[in-house]
Structure 1
C-alpha cells in the first residue's frame, strides 16, 4: 500500500486565512487538520485542529486545567469567538517542526513513521511541484486494518 492508494483531495488554507474560517472547515468536513500552503500552492505547514484549540483556550486554562472547570458553560460554549480576527499564522507553532510531506510512492510504514515523528494527523502528498492531496491518519489506519 502506497500513499497514492490512500490519497484524498484535501482543502488548504493560507497563513492569512482567518482562524474561524479554518475552524469551520475543520468542523464542516470532519478534518483532523488542514494543509497550509504558500503562494505557489505548496505545503508550508500543517495546522492540526488542536492548534486552533490552543489559540482559543485561555493560557491560564492550559496551564491549570482545574481553572477550566470554573468557567461557566456559556463562556465555554463561546470558546471559538476568541479567535475572531486572528489568522492561521497565529495558530501555528512558533518553532515549526519537520514538515509532513511525502511523494505518492511512500509506503504505509513511511507514512506512519512520518505521522508519528511529526505528531501530525495528516501527510501532504506532493509530486512534480504540485500538491496532490493528503493521507489522513484515519485513511492510513483503515488501510492498515483492511477496512
Structure 2
C-alpha cells in the first residue's frame, strides 16, 4: 500500500486561524490534529490536538495535576474558552519539529516510521508542490492490522 492510496482529503488551517475554530474542527470531525499551511497552501507544520490542549490547560495544572482537582467543575468544563481568541501560531511547539510530509510513493512502513519519529498522529502527502491529502494514525493502523 502506498501513501497515495491512503491519503484522504483533510482540513487545513493557517497560523492565523483562531484556536476556537481549530478546536471546533478537531472536535466536529474527530481529528487527531490539523495541517497548518503557508500562504501557498503547502504544509508548514502539523498541529496535534494535544498542542491545543497544552495551550489551553493552565501551566500550574500541567506542572501539578493535583491542582486541576481544586478547580470547580463549572470552570473546569470551560477551560478551552480562555484561549478561544488566540491563534494556531501560539499553539505551535517551539522549536519547530520535523515536518511529517510523505511522498505519494511512500510505503506503509515508511509512513509508520515517519509518524513514530515525529510523534505525529498524521502525515501530509505532498506531490509536486501540491497537498494531496493526509493519512491519520487511525487509517494507517486500520490498514496495517488488516495486512
TM-score by length of 1: 0.98
- CA–CA distance in 2 between the matches of 1:116 and 1:13? 23
Report whether the alignment pairs 1:20 with 2:20. yes
- CA–CA distance in 2 between the matches of 1:120 and 1:82? 26
Give 1:84 deviation, angstroms. Answer: 2.2
Paired residues for 1:1-147 under 5 Å? 1-146=1-146
Secondary structure of the corresponding residue to residue 69 of structure 2: helix
Spell out structure 1 runs of 4+ moving beyond 4 A. Answer: none
Q: Which runs of 5+ in 1 are unaligned?
A: none
TM-score by length of 2: 0.98
Aligned residues: CA RMSD: 0.9
Secondary structure of the corresponding residue to residue 46 of structure 2: strand
Give 1:34 deviation, angstroms. Answer: 0.2
Give 1:94 deviation, angstroms. Answer: 1.5
